[in-house]
Structure 1
Amino acid sequence: MQTHLSEQAKSLPRAEEAERILRSCVHCGFCTATCPTYQLLGDELDGPRGRIYLIKQVLEGQAVTAKTQLHLDRCLTCRSCETTCPSGVQYHNLLDIGRAVVEQKVPRPLAQRAFRQALRAVLPRPALFQALIQAAKVFRPLLPHALQTKLPRQHPPAKPRPPVRHPRHVLMLEGCVQPTLAPNTNAAAARVLDRLGISVVSAREAGCCGAIDYHLNAQEKGLERARGNIDAWWPAIETGAEAIVQTASGCGAFVREYGQLLKDDPAYAAKAERVSALASDLVQVLGAEPLEALGMRGDRRLAFHCPCTLQHAQKLGGAVEGVLERLGFSLTAVPDSHLCCGSAGTYSLTQPELSRQLRDNKLNALESGNPQVIVTANIGCQTHLDGAARTPVRHWIELVEEALPQT
């Protein structure tokens, strides 16, 4: 694609990157066929090719309107288009650049600004988030239905974690909302890893991965959180931590990008690259271990929802399914498994109507094989799907831990 960036756009920190990505797009349209929002809305500007064209217009100095912003806001950043693209277009990076420019040029209505600020103020702070969830449960009958569906159903409480007792050890990103919404997930992961001779070391100073801020166009704040996590993890990395494990694939996808995002920061570039290299989804760690030694045999019929951040961002589609099958679980077929469930970080809150449509379509596909339980690998997807109050939705590691033989 030919580009003619405006002088203003050429002065952007990521101008060269934006131009390179734009020029790599050949406008073949393969991406449109796999775009969830295009399938729902049928508007070219609500598909990747159309959004790329909008960003090109913005960077070439053409008028930017609230309509431009809306089409970019509607993107899930599911990255299904990147999986489909034959030219390797790094669409999500171009979208981050375009959204940041549009955010500066098109002031949002006060209500939108306040809502986004509230999300950024609450979600990355586990203690505050937990307090608000507890209060919301008390007043649940008085809340709007849309908010009631965001409150979690009853989940198993967090069991005690085993002590650090093995020479092999890993770090674990605890997450922001997961300790409140699904408190047993990380504990279950720690117990399964312990059975395999791997201890989980805590780095309590580590916090939000930074994705919430970054994808709500507070990009510098997101990078600030990334730097804080690097500082928190570094002592354990220097003492031999094998990996930084994520049980939420959304967090994992962002941590894997620390190296790219901080490549121009002289104080953090090398450390960020090391952290990205160590970042591993839980399935990568378990998949490399002798799981048969666990002596378990799963006996439940499951449907696995593969989060977009696992299959499209981290390219780990099929990995969890392989581990579950190795452990004896029966997996049902899921039609259109490449499509997003509509959670997409804060998308279910900022674009609720589209999100609900995508959720219901996804649940119909997941339930088509009559599973006993739906399992997934990301807290956002889990909470979003479970909010429909249909087939129970849980993290896959909890089912694995429950099937372990008693010691």
Structure 2
Amino acid sequence: METRITDELRATHDGQVAEEILRKCVHCGFCTATCPTYQLLGDELDGPRGRIYLIKQVLEGKPVTEKTRTHLDRCLTCRSCETTCPSGVKYSHLLDVGRAVVEEKLPRRLGDAVTRALLRTVLPNPALFGPLVAAARVAKPLLPSSLADKLPPAPGAGRPWPPAAAHARRMLVLAGCVQPSLAPNINGATARILDRLGIALFEEAKAGCCGALRFHLNDQAAGKDDMRRNIDAWWPHIEAGIEAIVVTASGCGVQVKDYGHVLADDAAYAQKAARISALCRDPSEILVAEKDRLLPLVQHAPGAQVKLAFHSPCTLQHGLKIRGVIEELLQAAGYALTPVADSHLCCGSAGTYSVLQPELADRLRSNKLAALNAGGPALVATANIGCLTHLQAGGGLPVRHWVEVIDEALS
């Protein structure tokens, strides 16, 4: 695609990244066929090709309008278009640049700005988010249904973590920001599975939010600060020889995998960020590498004959490019996986999207739940805390993280 980015922007790292991405796009339109918002709305500007044209205009210095912002805000950043694109266009990286320029040139209206500021302040901060969740559970009968439905039941005590010092092989795990309050057993389940394989898993208390929440709410400077804090917290463990940084929420995993790209122009952190990205692993990548030892442990497990539907988050299949691995592990644990139509499509969670775009998010969730329920499963498994809570809020079947399912099979 021919483009004439402004001289001011072309002099920046982001501008150079955007120009390279734009030149790769041949505007073939294959991406529109797999775009969830284009399928719902049928508007070219609510598909990747149309949004790329809007971003191109912005980067070339054309006036920024509310219409431009509306169509960019409606994007889920699901990356389904990247899976489909024959030219390898990194649409999500281009969208990051485009949204940042729009945010700079066109201040948001007061209500929208306040909502986003609250989300940026509360969600990445467990010290704020945790007590609010606890209070909301107590007051749940008084809350509006749109908010009450998003609260999962209060977690039980859970089984204990194995001692981290028990094995020579050691891996870090990201605690995250909302997951410890909403589903604290997920990391514990992962630690117990890895313990059976001779791997010690531990958290670093100084690490926090992966940076995705602030970064994708267009406070990219604060998002980068979150990433730098994590790098500083993890670096002594990396120097001590940990094998990997395990991230149990696939949405966070995509962001940590992207540290090297996001901080590529940061002289102090670029090399460390690239190292972090290289060490980042989804739990499924660890377990599939150990499957010769793992599968004999889960075969003929108590889950035999139980029907299960697996929802593969967009961040897992389109972001991390992990497909079929978790399904293999669940089948080995004795679960009968039911077919899920249009499994490539987003459920509508997409970080804070379900809060900021509730109508579209609810429509996407209804479609996804219909596809998941079609095979008559007894439960749904997924790989991301956002998808888990969003689908659970739709009612019906229990929704679990897949590592919890495997952990129970092993126990």
Alpha-carbon distance in structure 1 between the residues aligned to 2:389 and 2:155: 11
CA deviation profile, 1:66-88 (whole Å, cap 9, x unmatched): 11000000000000000000000
Alpha-carbon distance in structure 2 between the residues aligned to 1:387 and 1:157: 22
Alpha-carbon distance in structure 1 between the residues aligned to 2:108 and 2:354: 19
Find out whether 1:173 has 2:179 as its counterpart: no
Letter paired with 1:374: V
Would you say the 8 A contact 1:303–1:332 is kept in 2?
Answer: yes
Residue of structure 2 in register with 1:159 after alignment: 159
Residue of structure 1 in register with 2:29 after alignment: 29
Would you say the 8 A contact 1:291–1:327 is kept in 2?
Answer: no
Would you say the 8 A contact 2:298–2:332 is kept in 1?
Answer: no
Would you say the 8 A contact 1:9–1:61 is kept in 2?
Answer: no
Would you say the 8 A contact 1:188–1:397 is kept in 2?
Answer: yes
Residue of structure 1 in register with 2:144 after alignment: 144
Alpha-carbon distance in structure 1 between the residues aligned to 2:108 and 2:298: 56
Alpha-carbon distance in structure 1 between the residues aligned to 2:112 and 2:231: 32
Letter paired with 1:311: Q
**Which runs of structure 2 are paired with 1:43-54 in the superposition (5 Å)?**
43-54=43-54
CA deviation profile, 1:113-157 (whole Å, cap 9, x unmatched): 111010011111112111001111222222222111111135444
**Which runs of structure 2 are paired with 1:79-90 in the superposition (5 Å)?**
79-90=79-90
**Aligned partner of 1:308 among 311, 314, 323:** 314
Would you say the 8 A contact 2:169–2:243 is kept in 1?
Answer: yes
Equivalent residue pairs, number: 405
Residue of structure 2 in register with 1:349 after alignment: 355
Find out whether 1:327 has 2:333 as its counterpart: yes
CA deviation profile, 1:249-287 (whole Å, cap 9, x unmatched): 000000001111112212111111111111000100011
Residue of structure 2 in register with 1:94 after alignment: 94
Letter paired with 2:260: G
Find out whether 1:385 has 2:388 as its counterpart: no
Alpha-carbon distance in structure 1 between the residues aligned to 2:274 and 2:241: 16
By how many angstroms is 1:24 displaced? Answer: 0.7
By how many angstroms is 1:311 displaced? Answer: 0.2
CA deviation profile, 1:206-226 (whole Å, cap 9, x unmatched): 100000010001111111111
Residue of structure 2 in register with 1:252 after alignment: 253
By how many angstroms is 1:326 displaced? Answer: 2.5
SS class of match (2:410) = coil
Answer with 123-132 or 86-95: which moved more.
123-132
**TM-score (structure 1 length as normaliser):** 0.97
SS class of match (2:13) = coil
Alpha-carbon distance in structure 2 between the residues aligned to 1:292 and 1:32: 39
Q: For residues 273 and 327 of structure 1, do their structure 2 counterparts lie closer, same or farther at Cα, with a shift above 3 Å needed?
A: same
Residue of structure 1 in register with 2:222 after alignment: 221
Alpha-carbon distance in structure 2 between the residues aligned to 1:257 and 1:202: 20
Alpha-carbon distance in structure 2 between the residues aligned to 1:147 and 1:176: 19
By how many angstroms is 1:159 displaced? Answer: 2.1
Would you say the 8 A contact 1:342–1:355 is kept in 2?
Answer: yes
SS class of match (1:14) = helix
By how many angstroms is 1:295 displaced? Answer: 4.7
Residue of structure 2 in register with 1:78 after alignment: 78
Residue of structure 2 in register with 1:358 after alignment: 364
SS class of match (2:241) = coil
Residue of structure 1 in register with 2:200 after alignment: 199
Would you say the 8 A contact 1:157–1:183 is kept in 2?
Answer: no
Alpha-carbon distance in structure 1 between the residues aligned to 2:295 and 2:139: 46
By how many angstroms is 1:89 displaced? Answer: 0.5
Alpha-carbon distance in structure 2 between the residues aligned to 1:295 and 1:218: 44
Would you say the 8 A contact 1:103–1:217 is kept in 2?
Answer: yes
Would you say the 8 A contact 2:333–2:409 is kept in 1?
Answer: no
By how many angstroms is 1:328 displaced? Answer: 2.3
Would you say the 8 A contact 2:3–2:56 is kept in 1?
Answer: yes
Would you say the 8 A contact 2:298–2:409 is kept in 1?
Answer: no
Letter paired with 1:388: G
Residue of structure 2 in register with 1:283 after alignment: 284
CA deviation profile, 1:36-79 (whole Å, cap 9, x unmatched): 00000110000000000000111111121011000000000000
Alpha-carbon distance in structure 2 between the residues aligned to 1:355 and 1:243: 34
Alpha-carbon distance in structure 2 between the residues aligned to 1:238 and 1:131: 35
Give 5+ residue unaligned stretches, structure 1: none
Q: For residues 58 and 192 of structure 1, do their structure 2 counterparts lie closer, same or farther at Cα, with a shift above 3 Å needed?
A: same
Answer with 122-131 or 12-21: which moved more.
12-21
Residue of structure 2 in register with 1:3 after alignment: 3
Alpha-carbon distance in structure 2 between the residues aligned to 1:9 and 1:240: 40
State the superposition RMSD in angstroms: 1.2
